[in-house]
């Protein structure tokens, strides 16, 4: 009977902790998504700026393809 009571207490504590941590987990997820979006947007801006100064060739083709991928991920 002692083990069952301990297991119930542990389960109850975990349940309470989950209710307390759920909002912070959601905030963390939103923060990470925002940071990733900002990073992609920054990379996109850098590539757009750099493409203008690069002569036609392999590097420019690579950057143009990368820019297309970033635009697709950002939904633009």
Q: Where are the beta strands (DSSP E) in the chain?
A: none
* Rounded alpha-carbon distances, angstroms, from residue 76 to 44, 67, 68, 72: 11, 11, 9, 6
What are the tens digits of pLDDT across the range 10-68?
888 887 887 777 777 788 889 999 999 999 899 988 888 887 777 778 878 888 888 89
Q: Which domain holds residue 64?
A: 2-74
- Check residue 32 and give its pLDDT: 92
- Check residue 17 and give its pLDDT: 80
Residue at token pair 């203008």:
52
If one counts the domains in the chain, the total is: 1
pTM for this predicted structure = 0.53
């Amino acid at each position: 009977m002692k083990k069952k009571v301990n297991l119930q207490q542990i389960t109850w504590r975990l349940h309470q902790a989950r209710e307390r941590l759920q909002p912070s987990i959601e905030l963390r997820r939103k923060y990470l998504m925002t940071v990733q979006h900002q990073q992609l947007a920054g990379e996109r801006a850098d590539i757009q700026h750099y493409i203008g100064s690069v002569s036609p060739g392999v590097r420019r083709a690579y950057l143009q393809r990368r820019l297309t991928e970033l635009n697709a991920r950002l939904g633009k």
